[in-house]
A and B are shown apart, each in its own frame.
Chain A
Amino acid sequence: MTEPHDPLRSLDGTGPQGSWAGVVARAERPADLSVDLVAGGRSRRPLLVAAAVLALVGLAGTIAVATQAGDGNKAKVVAGPGDGDPPTAIWGRTWQVTRIVRDGKDQPVVPASPSSGIGGRAPLHLDATREGTLAFYGCNRIGGPVRLNGNRIERAEGIDSTKQGCLDGDGKTDPVMYQDRTLAKFLSSGVEVFVSGDELTLRNDVGDEIDLVDTKAFDPPVAIWGRTFTVTRLVEDGRELSPKASLGVPVRFRFKTVADANYGIVDTLGQAGCANQNPVSVRSDILAREIVELPNVPVCEFDVPEVATNRILVTQPIIQLRGDKLVLRSGTSSIEAVDPTGPDSGKSEDPPTAIWGKVGLVESRFDADHPDGLPVVDGSAGGPPILTAVLASDQPGSAEASPVGRVSVSGCNGVGGAAHLEGDVLVKDGDWPVTQQACTTAEGLVEQDAWIEGLLSSRPTVEVSGDRLTLAAGDGRRMELFLLPGGDEPPPGDPATTTTTTDGLVATTAPETTAPETTVSAPPPTTTSSTVPETTVPTEPPATTTTTTIAFGPGGGSADGFFGYEWHVVSVTGEGANREFRGAVVDTRTAGFVTISGCNGAGGAMQPEGDRLVKDGDWIHTAKGCPPTGDGEDLMAQDAWYEAFLTDGPRVVATPDSLGSAVILDTGTATVHLERP
């Protein structure tokens, strides 16, 4: 009996035109460079034929003789003749390239190729150790004898170049080879030398510029340990990425030592749902200052900036650390970061009252038995626990001087209430209400909640320094938080003062009389009527707020009442939906961020556009496997269905009688009815 034809198998029986012999022949051809390659590559088989870097050779004898050509420079000049060191200060030093400007634009600074044969990985550098000879080391050694005429480099006998071919890890031409050509052309176009202390600038007649720093001026790589850096610029494979993490805050990474000065953990902060710790070691000598990847490093594969940061961190980037500024370079990828509390930051400690109005992400916690740190478990909302500290709204005087406010933390459960400062000691006022949510998806989260509450109850000292907050008890317990930028400012255009809901969200209080359309009741639980838009919060200490407008946190956006809660699915209809999908939890307690818990936690930034929810970037997932049960429950299918549902940008529809306690999400083909428990 003939099986019915499956159109999806229509390609069965077809095949490629080429053969294995063709593949081998292709492999033995030069790589796709416009110039030939010299023998190279990692294979011991002579797969690549010898060739030459013709473009570089062709430049021999062309280094420019000094002229008095017009300036034409459009890039910055570190120093000029007469206001810096003499040009001869270039000699006797090795200079590391930190910036290349060509045609007025910054170019990636590609490190030397590991296959260049000049001693393994190294930053792109200029060897000027021997007076009268300059040479860049990228893939090839490019340079030769020169002499200085004033501050201009004059060629002696032309540019020499070795004729090495360099391949990258994918077997493609290493981008450093293209950079070599740029450098050769640069040197041949008439170069002026400006030295100022540890900095060197080379500028040619058309205004292209290369900035360099004496390699001895960099801090040793071991100086990274114990420090947290905030990413200010992120470039992956030549593509500029936002330095903001999926939670909307800057990506940060912290280097923690584990065993010795050369081995530790790099902990990428700001991401949710992905393994974010990578073991690293560092190696340092005068030219090789690099992070050395250890095997089997887990890297999430979702395309969000913090994961891109991780990807670069594990590609053995070269370390350039100077004071509070860190640059990591690997190929055409780079991370520029700053340590806000570093030696050059100039930041001093802020008064303890600077805590008010802040929202902080818990980054690390310690106790006497764990001086290297206890794990920080992501909250049920998908990110690190969030601490909110706000000034009591009825407190007269400025926020900076006030000792009285309220503090709350959301991890699995929300806990918070009134507190005040006695000097730099934070003191709880009375008992704080605690929500009673059970969180089974994240191991240790409930215990972490208790640990944090215990710390807050122990009259911890408060230390605020820039974007860092440290709460420390006298017994060795300590918690460090990253304070979100702008957390002390009310939303633009809203004259209200900041206060908080009990689950840790920042909210703004508005006079009752304003009663904006977007107002919603403050959780939990609300006891409003259909005619009086007033909220009471029975579990709170004396309520200071009446009507609140939920303000989006890091994600930004306008209020619509959907965010700020944990919603339970009570019904689901539509194509592909399974009635067993009821019971899923959609958590929006972190404003601007939606997570779904089924088999896996999945979540990401979502923004309101009118009455629709729109995904903002990729989702982040845990990666647990949950086989279907005999009862027809398939949590993985449920995860996928809800993600697809939310990806479709559902409309948020409030039910007329729900008073904000229930909503319907509707895509047109499927609906999900949510209620607050």
Chain B
Amino acid sequence: MDNHTGDDETERARHAKPLRTVTEPADPAEPLVATDAPADTQDVDGDAWVERVRVAYDDVRAPLWRALVAWSGSTDVADEALAESFAQLLRRGAEVRDPAAWAWRAAFRLAAGDLQRRRAAAGRQADGEDVMAQLPGRLDRLPDDAIDLVRALARLSDQQRRCVALVDVAGHTAPSAAAVLGTSAATVRVQLMRARRRLRTLLTEPETDTAPTTAAAGSNETEEPR
């Protein structure tokens, strides 16, 4: 598979616009991501619903997948969560007001469940943090600098990694990332501030220091030291 799509700028612009133009919603249930879908979603027929989901899929598949990779440290987990979230959208039907926003939330939940299952299958304790150490060899589809980034992200706390994945990798604003995460925009900003500070260090450390796997396994290294 060609992981570099070859038309990066076009693709990025395609999803960047709706993400960047979102203002903080008064209601977390309000749409986070603009779509071309009709406003009235209450009585669309099956075909129209499928088309709406498809449009949402085209809009968010790439940034959502990247965010999932950044957070989970696994392309397999990201593939699975992305596909399953949209499959569930199709099954769920037209009551969903904003398919893309729903998919963002659902995909992260699905990825978390998938990680838990994989950890359990591997007979490891689920600590929710050290995903990289537990999923070796799942990044071989990525370019080297992306692997470095994902490995550095694995050294962050779970919440910091989510914030970076959504804002810095996927292009969410802090308020829209907060809506995905079910937290406040201020919290996202605080986590981002800390995460970026730590990443600056991690990404400039010698290679041996950024290798995350066994060093971080079972340790508390994922939390930023104060």
Chain B residues positioned under 8 Å from A167 (CB to CB): 91-92
Does residue B145 face the partner (Cβ distance < 8 Å to A)? yes
Mark the stretch among A36-44, A59-67, A524-532, A558-566 that contacts chain B: A36-44
Q: List 15 A-B contacts (CB under 8 A).
A: A7-B148, A11-B142, A18-B79, A24-B50, A41-B92, A43-B92, A43-B93, A44-B45, A45-B47, A45-B49, A167-B92, A576-B193, A640-B187, A643-B187, A643-B190
> Which single residue of chain B is at the shortest CB-CB distance from A648?
B226
Chain A residues positioned under 8 Å from B146 (CB to CB): 10-11, 14
B134-150 interface with A by 8 A CB criterion = 141-143, 145-146, 148-150
Residue among A8, A27, A169, A172 making CB contact with B149, cutoff 8 Å: A8
Docked-complex contact B187 and A41, CB < 8 angstroms: no
Does residue B221 face the partner (Cβ distance < 8 Å to A)? no
Does residue A669 face the partner (Cβ distance < 8 Å to B)? yes
Docked-complex contact B93 and A42, CB < 8 angstroms: yes
Docked-complex contact B145 and A7, CB < 8 angstroms: yes
Mark the stretch among B33-41, B125-133, B178-186 that contacts chain A: B178-186
Does residue A15 face the partner (Cβ distance < 8 Å to B)? yes
Does residue A73 face the partner (Cβ distance < 8 Å to B)? no
Main secondary structure of the interface of B (DSSP, over half): helix
Residue among A17, A170, A298, A667 making CB contact with B92, cutoff 8 Å: A170
Chain A residues positioned under 8 Å from B82 (CB to CB): 16, 18
Does residue B83 face the partner (Cβ distance < 8 Å to A)? yes
7 smallest A-B Cβ distances: which pairs?
A: A45-B46, A42-B93, A640-B186, A27-B90, A171-B92, A43-B93, A26-B87
How many residues belonging to A are interface residues under a CB distance threshold of 8 Å? Answer: 55
Docked-complex contact B88 and A636, CB < 8 angstroms: no
Q: What size tier do the contact residues of chain B reach? A: 35 or more
- CA gap between A8 and B169 in the complex, in Å: 6
Docked-complex contact B182 and A301, CB < 8 angstroms: yes
- CA gap between A42 and B90 in the complex, in Å: 10
Chain A residues positioned under 8 Å from B65 (CB to CB): 14-16
Does residue B12 face the partner (Cβ distance < 8 Å to A)? yes
Contact code string A633-675 (vs B, CB < 8 Å = 1, else 0): 0001101110110001000000000000000000111000000
Docked-complex contact A170 and B49, CB < 8 angstroms: no
* Chain B min CB distance to A34 (Å): 15
B61-115 interface with A by 8 A CB criterion = 61-62, 65-66, 69-70, 75, 78-79, 82-84, 86-95, 106
* Chain B min CB distance to A585 (Å): 17
- CA gap between A15 and B89 in the complex, in Å: 20
Known contacts A43-B93, A170-B88, A640-B190; A10/B83 CB under 8 A:
no
Does residue A443 face the partner (Cβ distance < 8 Å to B)? no
* Chain A min CB distance to B133 (Å): 20
Does residue A269 face the partner (Cβ distance < 8 Å to B)? no
Docked-complex contact A44 and B46, CB < 8 angstroms: yes
Docked-complex contact B5 and A10, CB < 8 angstroms: no
Docked-complex contact B199 and A43, CB < 8 angstroms: no
Does residue A206 face the partner (Cβ distance < 8 Å to B)? no
Docked-complex contact B148 and A14, CB < 8 angstroms: no
> Which single residue of chain A is at the shortest CB-CB distance from B186?
A640
> Which single residue of chain A is at the shortest CB-CB distance from B6?
A13
Residue among B61, B152, B182 making CB contact with A16, cutoff 8 Å: B61
Docked-complex contact B148 and A10, CB < 8 angstroms: yes
Docked-complex contact B62 and A15, CB < 8 angstroms: yes
Known: A14-B66, A15-B62, A27-B91. 20 other contacts (CB 8 A): A9-B168, A11-B70, A12-B8, A13-B8, A14-B69, A16-B65, A16-B78, A18-B79, A41-B91, A42-B94, A43-B92, A47-B90, A171-B88, A171-B92, A172-B88, A637-B186, A640-B187, A640-B190, A643-B186, A643-B190
- CA gap between A48 and B80 in the complex, in Å: 19
Contact code string A289-304 (vs B, CB < 8 Å = 1, else 0): 0000000101001010
